C-alpha cells in the first residue's frame, strides 16, 4: 500500500473512532485542547501561512466531533492559539502543550485530542515529520505512549 493511501486510511480510521465517541467529547477542556492541537499541527514547521490556516480552519468547521461546539468559539480559540504561536513560537508552544495537558486525567478526551491532531495532520495526505513530532510531544504531555498511535 502506498504511503499516501496509508496516511489517508489512518486519518479516516481516527475520524471514525472520534465519531463513535462524539457524545463523550463535549467538555470545554476537550474543546480547548483540540484547538491547541490544531494550531500546533498547523504551525508544526515553525510558521503558519494563510493558506494552511484556512485549510485547518475548514477542517475544524467540517469535523463532526467538533460540531459539538459553536463554530465561532472554535474559530476564536484557533485564531488566538495561532496568534500565540506566530508571536513567539517557543513560548506559545509551551503554553499550548499545557492546555493540551489539562485533559490528561480524562483518557477518552486525551486520546481524542491526539486523534484530532492525526486527522488534521493527515488530511492533506502528507502527515510530515514536523507534524508527527508535534503529535508525539502532545502524547508525552498527556502521558500516552506515542506508539499507541504509530507516531
Which residue do the cell numbers 485549510 mark?
55
The total domain count for the chain is: 1
Does residue 24 form part of some domain? no
Q: By three-state DSSP, how is residue 70 classified?
A: coil
Does residue 19 form part of some domain? no
Tell me the pLDDT of the chain (151 aa) as tens digits: 444 455 456 566 766 777 777 778 999 999 999 999 999 999 998 888 888 888 888 888 888 889 999 999 999 999 999 999 999 999 999 999 999 999 999 999 999 999 999 988 887 777 889 999 999 999 999 999 999 888 7
Does residue 23 form part of some domain? no
**8-14 long-range contacts, Cβ below 8 Å, gap at least 24?**
8/122, 8/125, 10/118, 10/122, 10/127, 10/150, 11/118, 11/119, 11/121, 11/122, 11/123, 11/127, 14/115, 14/118, 14/119, 14/122
Does residue 103 form part of some domain? yes
C-alpha cell at 3: 504511503
User: Rounded CA gap, 85 and 109, in Å?
Assistant: 23
Whether the CB-CB separation of 5 and 48 falls below 8 Å is answered with no
**Residue-level pLDDT at 23:** 77
Does residue 90 form part of some domain? yes
Does residue 78 form part of some domain? yes
Does residue 14 form part of some domain? no
User: Rounded CA gap, 47 and 90, in Å?
Assistant: 11
Does residue 16 form part of some domain? no
pTM exceeds cut of 0.85: yes
Domain that holds residue 103: 3-7+29-149
Neighbours of 68 (CB within 10 A): 16
Amino acid at each position: 500500500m502506498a504511503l499516501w493511501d496509508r496516511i489517508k486510511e489512518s486519518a479516516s480510521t481516527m475520524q471514525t473512532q472520534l465519531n463513535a465517541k462524539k457524545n463523550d467529547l463535549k467538555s470545554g477542556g476537550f474543546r480547548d485542547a483540540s484547538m491547541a492541537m490544531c494550531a500546533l499541527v498547523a504551525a508544526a514547521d515553525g510558521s503558519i501561512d494563510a493558506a494552511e490556516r484556512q485549510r485547518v480552519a475548514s477542517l475544524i468547521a467540517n469535523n463532526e466531533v467538533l460540531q459539538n461546539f459553536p463554530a465561532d468559539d472554535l474559530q476564536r480559540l484557533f485564531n488566538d492559539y495561532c496568534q500565540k504561536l506566530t508571536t513567539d513560537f517557543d513560548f506559545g508552544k509551551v503554553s499550548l502543550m499545557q492546555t493540551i495537558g489539562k485533559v490528561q486525567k480524562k483518557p477518552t478526551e486525551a486520546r481524542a485530542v491526539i486523534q484530532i491532531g492525526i486527522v488534521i495532520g493527515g488530511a492533506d495526505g502528507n502527515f510530515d515529520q514536523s507534524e508527527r513530532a508535534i503529535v508525539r510531544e502532545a502524547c508525552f504531555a498527556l502521558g500516552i505512549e506515542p506508539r499507541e498511535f504509530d507516531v
